[in-house]
Amino acid sequence: MDSDTLLARITDYVNRPNPYPLYAELREAGPVVRQADGSYLVGTYHEIAALLHDPRMSVDPRIRGETTHKPPFLRLDDPEHHRLRTLAMRPFGPPHSPGRVDAMRGEIDQLTEELMEPFQAGRQIDIVDDFAYPLPVTVICRLLGVPREDEPLFREWSDAIVASADVRPEEDSTERDEAGDQARSEMGRYLVDLAEKRRGKPSDDLLSAFANEPDPDRRLTQEELAETAVLLLIAGHETTVNLITNGVLTLLRQPEHLDQLRREPDLLPRAVEELLRYEPPVHMRERIPLADIDVAGTTIPEGTSVVLALASGNRDPKRFHEPDRFDPTRPDNQHLGFGSGIHLCYGAPLARIEAQAALGALIPHLGTARLVQDPPPYRQNAMLRGPRHLPIQL
Ligand code: HEM
């Protein structure tokens, strides 16, 4: 089959349950593959890692005229990116200190226990709706200072924004982009209003910290505050839900590892890292070269769309021994699950704590559980890939 339609096949919903054979095809077709729509696809570990660290690779949609509006720091290049990322990190405390995220550990454990209360033997539950979604949503709401009961409101905005940010070749996306823009501006206004209410009345959350910054040089503009808060609220829950759900799915499919983790709970942090390699929540990220760039003998022209298939890099046999095997004891597991380079995931410490708490609490209950549907129904999104539901019988 043609490798120039690989991206179309990878993003085709029928392949959502198992895109990994297509990633193998991609790596065999070459480190860099030109697609029928003129974009480029990169699927090998070392080339992806090099491009993630290459300052000639931009993330800014303004350079292609896609928008005139300043995007959140996920889509900004340095130095603009560095300034905003640093400001957004400030409320977490000084770098390398235990800080605010560690302080949330106890709260996260308690939330996990509360969510699991109704999980009794004989019951059928949906791991997504009953557990893996409410946990990170509640945590990011508390961290930001967003009322948890507003979830139905921001869920709709979040769905529209995430759909508009998906990778999709050869398709007219005007309608989806407009819906995404509108949701982004409504959600931004909602979060700026919440921050404004805390001005002069500080509380223990990020919106309050942003609104009450005393140093004018470190104060976010209203537009920056809106974009940053939208980014954190969405990134804070649309990914962790998939990590927890993929964890349960993987362990129920491979009961020998479920047993192994029950016997050796100390392996859990390494099992979470292995999940971020083996079934990562973020499958692809896009970059735009600011100059012609040579990658393994192919010249990628300036201004084209380059899709870096992180999930394929994670299964590259040139980097990982037996990459298609889930191995919680894997040594040297420098996966691309949180990206790499200047945009390396800002929320990684929080995501790790949440996934370890969630799986640690669930594992003792999964021994006699079984999957009701395998493969489960997947969410539409190809970039943020994960099950929409995961029904299990306890
Ligand atoms: C398992 C959960 C998570 C995964 C797999 C994940 C993955 C990623 C990846 C791959 C990137 C890099 C994007 C790129 O290079 O284009 C990223 C960036 C980012 N993530 Fe996460 N993330 C997770 C959880 C979180 C959480 C909980 C938060 C917020 C508290 C968060 C906030 C961010 C932000 C703000 C960025 C942009 C960083 C920058 O541009 O400097 N993420 N994440």
Q: How far is the CA of 346 from the centre of ligand 1 (A)?
A: 5
We report the CATH number of the domain holding residue 106 as 1.10.630.10
Question: Ligand 1: which atom is nearest the Cα of residue 350?
Answer: 27
Residue 338 CB–ligand 1 contact under 6 Å: yes
For residue 66, which amino acid is it?
E
DSSP, collapsed to helix, strand or coil, labels residue 35 as: coil
- What Rg, from alpha-carbon coordinates, does the chain have? 21
Percent of the chain with pLDDT over 70: 97
Nearest CA to ligand 1 atom 20: 345
Nearest CA to ligand 1 atom 35: 346
The residue segments making up the domain with residue 221 are 3-393
Q: How far is the CA of 393 from the centre of ligand 1 (A)?
A: 32
Residue 40 CB–ligand 1 contact under 6 Å: no
For residue 98, pLDDT over 80 is answered with no
Tell me the range of 16-20, 214-218, 294-298 where mean pLDDT is highest.
Answer: 16-20
- For residue 371, what are the β-bridge partners? 392
pLDDT band at 137 (very low <50, low <70, confident <90, very high): very high
Nearest CA to ligand 1 atom 32: 347
Quick: pLDDT tens for 297-319: 999 999 999 999 999 999 999 99
What's this model's pTM, rounded to 2 decimal places? 0.96
Q: Element (H or E) spanning 240, and its range? A: helix 240-253
DSSP, collapsed to helix, strand or coil, labels residue 180 as: helix
Q: Contact at 8 Å (CB) between 186 and 150?
A: no
Residue 231 CB–ligand 1 contact under 6 Å: yes
pLDDT at 86 (0 to 100): 93
Q: How far is the CA of 338 from the centre of ligand 1 (A)?
A: 6
For residue 376, pLDDT over 90 is answered with yes
How many beta carbons lie within 10 A of that of residue 81, not counting itself?
Answer: 19
Q: How far is the CA of 337 from the centre of ligand 1 (A)?
A: 9
Nearest CA to ligand 1 atom 9: 338
Residue 73 CB–ligand 1 contact under 6 Å: yes
If one counts the domains in the chain, the total is 1
Whole-angstrom distance, CA of residue 234 vs CA of residue 231:
5
Whole-angstrom distance, CA of residue 6 vs CA of residue 380:
18
Whole-angstrom distance, CA of residue 71 vs CA of residue 155:
20
For residue 65, pLDDT over 90 is answered with no
Ligand 1 pocket: which of 287, 305, 338, 383 to mutate (most atoms within 8 A of CB): 338
pLDDT band at 171 (very low <50, low <70, confident <90, very high): low
DSSP, collapsed to helix, strand or coil, labels residue 282 as: strand
pLDDT at 95 (0 to 100): 61
Q: Decide the pairing of beta strands 285-289 and 306-308.
A: antiparallel
Q: How far is the CA of 264 from the centre of ligand 1 (A)?
A: 29
Nearest CA to ligand 1 atom 7: 338
* Placement of tokens 């409410």 in the chain: 134
Burial 278-293 (b: 16+ CB within 10 A, else e): bbbbbbbbbbbbbeeb
Nearest CA to ligand 1 atom 3: 239
Residue 343 CB–ligand 1 contact under 6 Å: yes
- For residue 288, what are the β-bridge partners? 58
